[in-house]
Amino acid sequence: MHSELDSYDRRILALLQEDASLSSAQIAEQVGLSQSPCWRRIQRMKEEGIIRGQVTLLDRKKIGLNTQIFAEIKLNAHGRSNFTEFTEAIRGFPEVLECYVLMGAVDFLLRIVAADIEAYERFFFEKLSLVPGIQEVNSIVALSEIKSTTSLPV
């Protein structure tokens, strides 16, 4: 069971979401705690799974991934019965950053990155379209990014 988050926990989480490289001493100073209680709070939130991990965020365009595509996937009846097979295939594609199960006209929404449209076309024909059970793929190319964040509103 998770403990309730108080205002200190929320400020700690907000700081860590902005810069996970901050030391517990730096965080403690900014939230008004001493270092030991701050460190214990961070450890508790890690143990409870509130803090799932710490990563380095990359600028996709600066590493050559200039194209972002949203793909709506509709499975055929056979594909729906092999949901696990589909999800395992999708998890194996590094180009797919996110995959959501949807309610409505389509079954899944994927967020995919590629160097360019030609690279996405190769991914589509050599990988995605070969996944068993797919009936239809509707690819939507994002022209520009208005907002992108990993920070949750704590």
Q: What is the DSSP string of 6-23?
A: -HHHHHHHHHHHH-TT--
- Is 39 within 8 Å of 24 (Cβ atoms)? yes
In this prediction, residues 5-20 reach a mean pLDDT of 97
Give the CATH number of the domain where residue 100 resides.
3.30.70.920
CATH number (domain holding residue 41) = 1.10.10.10
Domain of 83 in residue numbering reads as 60-142
> Are 67 and 126 in a shared domain?
yes
Give the pLDDT band (50/70/90) at residue 2: low
41 and 66 in a single domain? The answer is no
User: Checking DSSP bridges between strand 134-142 and strand 67-75, what pairing results, if any?
Assistant: antiparallel
The verdict on 65 and 127 lying in the same domain is: yes
Whether 112 and 86 share a structural domain: yes
pLDDT tens string 52-99 = 999 999 999 999 999 999 999 999 987 677 788 999 999 999 999 999
Mean pLDDT of the chain: 95
Residue in 58, 64, 82, 67 with CA at minimum distance from that of residue 135: 82
* Domain co-membership, 43 together with 68: no
**Domain tally for the chain?**
2
83 against 144, higher pLDDT: 144
Region 129-137: mean pLDDT is: 94
Indicate if 17 and 90 belong to the same structural domain.
no
Per cent of the chain over pLDDT 70 is 98
Q: CA 79, CA 105: separation in Å to the nearest integer?
A: 15
Please provide residue 91's backbone torsions phi and psi, each rounded to the nearest 5 degrees: -60, -25
102, pLDDT greater than 60: yes
Q: Whats the size of the chain, residue-wise?
A: 154
